[in-house]
Amino acid sequence: MQKFTAIGHLGADVDMRFTPKGDAVANFPVAINDYNDNTMWVRVTVWGDKAENAKEYLAKGDQVYVEGVLQFGNKTGGPETYVSKKDGKTY
């Protein structure tokens, strides 16, 4: 796992659901551009209050700051970022 920090734009509206235990979890894609106009897509997963806030305040196209843990996705092998439930620190 690696710490990940980036600024990008939401590629879609936030998709939020609840776990069987009642914890909120939200997913959304973020597009990150480099200086050569290359785009990298990162799938972000946010938990707890941060998930509920993301659903309420973020929409497709909004600029976001993401800080979390970078991992490779189980299904796609592509980059995914996870943010913890309570304090936003990485886990």
- CA–CA gap between residue 12 and residue 58 (Å, rounded): 10
- Give me the pLDDT at residue 72, please: 67
Which has the higher per-residue pLDDT, 14 or 89?
Answer: 14
DSSP 76: T
What confidence tens digit (pLDDT) does each residue in 26-51 have? 999 999 998 888 898 888 888 899 99
- Give me the pLDDT at residue 69, please: 78
**SS3 category, 23:** coil
Query: What tokens appear for 76 in the block?
Result: 């796609």
DSSP 34: -
Cβ contacts of 3 within 8 Å, gap of 6 or more:
67, 68, 69, 70, 90
- Give me the pLDDT at residue 61, please: 95
Section 55-80 average pLDDT: 80
